[in-house]
């Protein structure tokens, strides 16, 4: 049931007596709680925020509305990890409700300076006429983990030429200066990203708009991120309002990137190639990256989308984060791979080698609802090869390669409880024929598929019956050899 505006914009401290306990009870009864993904204790999770490394640990916050699955009063929920595999819940990171974030502590990022972890975020406010007034606010966490908000915003107004859709600062160090990119909407209702510079994180100067080759590309760009990888500059952002284009842009909003020569932070020139979607799955948005101390560029996304209802809503929770991924560049393209630290989560292992010819075969002993699986497929002349997982009864989630169209296909139309049918339940992308490697992370209600060592990724929620546990392989129109490895993952420990 949707909440009224008054119900949505309540702080956790304004919950009715017994409301939270009742909500928690509902959540505890949900059959779709995840085993090893970050998920909210109750309520709604959306964007990852403040992904960073500080005092020997990774910190990862997320947008959180504690009291329900609507997009209501947003907090930052805090989690941290020593190894990127096991995350500790640290409770509320940023609490909204101040004069500059009266209607939510919206998305932002983190950076270390002088022994503190600074959190730069958008304070969302609404006036009596319900007009938005965004502020860019600063808080810091000290060594004891105590988070303190500054009394005044560091950017108090929207520059001329832009609307009040102005949010999601992502900060980084560039030489002696700090830069931050902010998602913006021009007054002509087109999306863009603007840059600010600062010497001290306190005083920010508006540099201007990043000069991309995408002058009219959607009506708003949310959650921008800029980073350099090898010798290239990458602008990651979430354009809203793109039309679907065959296999591309089938989700309600997109997350993607452009790559070019590094951005000139003074002239804001940025010569880049075409916009590419980062993920081919159904549920992926608002990804944020960080630079790990060993130089790796890591990324986490929200396994969900705005304006989409999820089957867990009626159980009082919604949304989770993806596993951390490492980004690299291969032939001018972003490659995403699960971080190797995730191997720590592996429990019992199973392996099999099998040749199939015009058949589907169930892999006995390979059942599960939560596991990592690597399936390599080679030496075949089959027209169609792939696997079915979370299968049983009428249900199955299908991942396959179709040789006739040279496409990878993820089909969740029979995955269990259907959702978002308006955007379809099949996702496809092109891939040249050849050996195939499917690397899956299946959790109770999600799957992340890394194809050919991260060349393509499909990230999706699925809502199968707990009894749908089978794994089956198939080869049609010829034969193929399969090598399969599977590790159970039962929890974050
Ligand atoms: C993206 C987003 C951001 C905003 C946040 C609010 O999902 O809309 O633009 O800061 O979520 O929760």
Nearest CA to ligand 1 atom 12: 106
370 CB less than 6 Å from ligand 1? no
Nearest CA to ligand 1 atom 6: 106
Element (H, E) at 274: none
pLDDT at position 420: 67
| CA-222 nearest atom, ligand 1 | 9
Higher per-residue pLDDT: 364 or 94: 94
Q: In this model, does residue 18 exceed pLDDT 80?
A: yes
E-strand stretches of 175-284: 177-186, 191-198, 204-209, 220-229, 232-240, 256-260, 276-277
CA of 1 to the centre of ligand 1 (A): 22
Q: Please write the tens of the pLDDT for every residue from 141-178.
A: 999 999 999 999 999 999 999 999 999 999 999 999 99
The dihedral over CA atoms of 69, 244, 222, 33, expressed in degrees to the nearest 10, equals 30
Cα 340 to ligand 1 centre (Å): 29
* Three-point CA angle 216, 221, 224, nearest 5°: 125
DSSP-derived 3-state class of residue 175: coil
State the pLDDT confidence band at 62, using cuts at 50, 70 and 90: very high
- The pLDDT tens digits of the residues spanning 347-373 come to 999 999 999 999 999 998 899 999 999
The 3-state secondary structure of 299-350, one letter per residue: EEEECCCCCCCCHHHHHCEECCECCCEEEEEECCEEEEEECHHHHHHCCCEE
* Sheet with 204-209: strands ordered across: 162-174, 177-186, 191-198, 204-209
- Between the CA of 168 and the centroid of ligand 1 the distance, in Å, is 7
Whether 47 is in the pocket of ligand 1, judged by its Cβ within 6 Å, is yes
Query: At CB < 8 A and 24+ separation, what contacts does 153-156 make?
Result: 153/100, 153/123, 154/120, 154/198, 154/201, 154/202, 154/203, 154/204, 155/196, 155/204
**Tens digits of residue pLDDT in 203-217:** 999 999 999 999 999
| Ligand 1 close to Cβ of residue 69 (< 6 A) | no
- Give residue 380's pLDDT: 83
Cα–Cα distance for residue pair 107/76, rounded to 1 Å: 8
How high is the pLDDT of residue 47?
Answer: 98
- Ligand 1 atom closest to the CA of 285, numbered from 1: 7
Q: What is the mean pLDDT of residues 53-73?
A: 98
Task: Find out whether the beta carbon of 397 lies less than 6 Å from any atom of ligand 1.
Answer: no
What residue has token string 């999820």? 310
d(CA 420, CA 422): 5
Ligand 1 atom closest to Cα of 107? 10
Complex ipTM value: 0.99
Is 73 near ligand 1, meaning CB less than 6 Å away? no
CA 244 to chain centre: 20
**Alpha-carbon span 285 to 46, nearest angstrom:** 9
Using the predicted structure, report yes or no on whether residue 1 has a pLDDT greater than 70.
no
Domains present along the chain, CATH in parentheses = 5-339 (2.115.10.20), 346-488 (2.60.120.560)
Extended beta strands in 214-272, E state? 220-229, 232-240, 256-260
Cα 328 to middle of ligand 1, angstroms: 26
Residues 281-337: tens digit of each pLDDT = 999 999 999 999 999 999 999 999 999 999 999 999 999 999 999 999 999 999 999
Does the Cβ of 101 fall within 6 Å of ligand 1?
A: no
Average pLDDT, the chain: 97
Please tell me the distance from the alpha carbon of residue 335 to that of residue 437, in angstroms, as a whole number: 14
d(CA 327, CA 229): 8
- Whether ligand 1 lies within 6 angstroms of the CB of 159 is answered as no
Instruction: Kindly report, residue by residue over 424-451, the tens digit of the pLDDT.
Output: 899 999 999 999 999 999 999 999 999 9
Q: Which of 47, 284, 300 to mutate to test the pocket of ligand 1 (most atoms within 8 A of CB)?
A: 47
Counting atoms of ligand 1 from 1, which one is nearest the CA of 106?
Answer: 10
Q: Tokens at residue 114, please?
A: 């002088």
Q: Which of 222, 301, 304 to mutate to test the pocket of ligand 1 (most atoms within 8 A of CB)?
A: 222
Return the best residue to mutate from 107, 166, 304, 307 for the ligand 1 pocket (most ligand atoms within 8 A of CB). 107
Predicted model pTM = 0.97
Q: Which residues are 372's β-sheet partners?
A: 441, 487
Respond yes or no: is residue 47 known to be catalytic. yes
In the chain the first and final C-alpha atoms are separated, in Å, by 35
Split at pLDDT 50, 70, 90, the class of 478 is very high
């Amino acid at each position: 049931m949707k909440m009224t505006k008054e119900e949505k914009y309540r702080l956790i401290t304004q919950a009715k007596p017994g409301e939270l306990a009742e909500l928690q009870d509902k959540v505890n009864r949900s059959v779709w709680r995840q085993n090893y993904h970050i998920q909210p204790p109750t309520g709604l999770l959306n964007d990852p925020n403040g992904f960073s490394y500080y005092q020997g640990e990774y910190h990862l916050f997320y947008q959180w509305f504690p009291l329900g699955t609507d997009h209501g009063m947003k907090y930052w929920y805090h989690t941290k990890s020593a190894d990127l595999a096991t995350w500790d819940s640290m409770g509320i990171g940023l609490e909204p409700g101040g004069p500059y974030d009266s209607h939510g502590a919206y998305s932002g990022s983190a950076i270390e300076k002088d022994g503190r972890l600074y959190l730069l975020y958008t304070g969302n406010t609404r006036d009596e006429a319900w007009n938005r007034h965004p502020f860019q606010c600063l808080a810091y966490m000290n060594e004891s983990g105590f988070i303190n908000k500054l009394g005044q915003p560091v950017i108090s107004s929207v520059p001329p030429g832009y609307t009040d859709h102005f949010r999601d600062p992502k900060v980084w160090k560039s030489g002696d200066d700090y830069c931050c990119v902010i998602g913006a909407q021009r007054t002509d209702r087109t999306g863009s990203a603007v840059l600010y510079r600062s010497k001290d994180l306190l005083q920010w100067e508006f540099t201007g708009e990043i000069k991309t080759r995408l002058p009219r590309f959607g009506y708003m760009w949310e959650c921008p991120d800029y980073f350099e990888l090898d010798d290239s500059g990458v602008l990651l952002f979430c354009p809203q309002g793109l039309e679907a284009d065959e296999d591309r842009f089938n989700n309600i909003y997109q997350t993607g990137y452009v790559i070019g020569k590094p951005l000139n932070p003074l002239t804001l020139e940025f010569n880049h190639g075409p916009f590419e979607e980062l993920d081919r799955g159904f549920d992926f948005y608002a990804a944020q990256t960080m630079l790990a101390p060993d130089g790796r560029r890591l990324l986490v996304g929200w396994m969900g989308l705005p304006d989409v209802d999820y089957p867990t809503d009626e159980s009082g929770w919604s949304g989770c984060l993806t596993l951390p991924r490492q980004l690299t560049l291969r032939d001018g393209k972003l490659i995403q791979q699960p971080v190797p630290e995730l191997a720590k989560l592996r429990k019992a292992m199973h392996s099999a080698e099998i040749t199939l010819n015009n058949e589907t075969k169930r892999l006995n002993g390979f059942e599960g609802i939560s596991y990592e699986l690597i399936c390599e497929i080679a030496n075949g002349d089959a027209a169609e090869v792939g696997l079915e997982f979370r299968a049983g009864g009428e249900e199955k989630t299908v991942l396959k390669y179709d040789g006739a169209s040279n496409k990878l296909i993820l089909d969740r139309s029979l995955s269990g409880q259907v959702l978002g049918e308006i955007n379809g339940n099949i996702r496809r992308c092109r891939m040249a024929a050849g050996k195939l490697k499917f690397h899956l992370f299946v959790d109770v209600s999600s799957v992340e598929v890394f194809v050919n060592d991260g060349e393509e990724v499909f990230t999706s929620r699925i809502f199968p019956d707990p009894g749908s546990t089978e794994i089956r392989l198939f080869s049609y129109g010829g034969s193929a050899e399969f090598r399969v490895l599977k590790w159970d993952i039962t929890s974050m420990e």
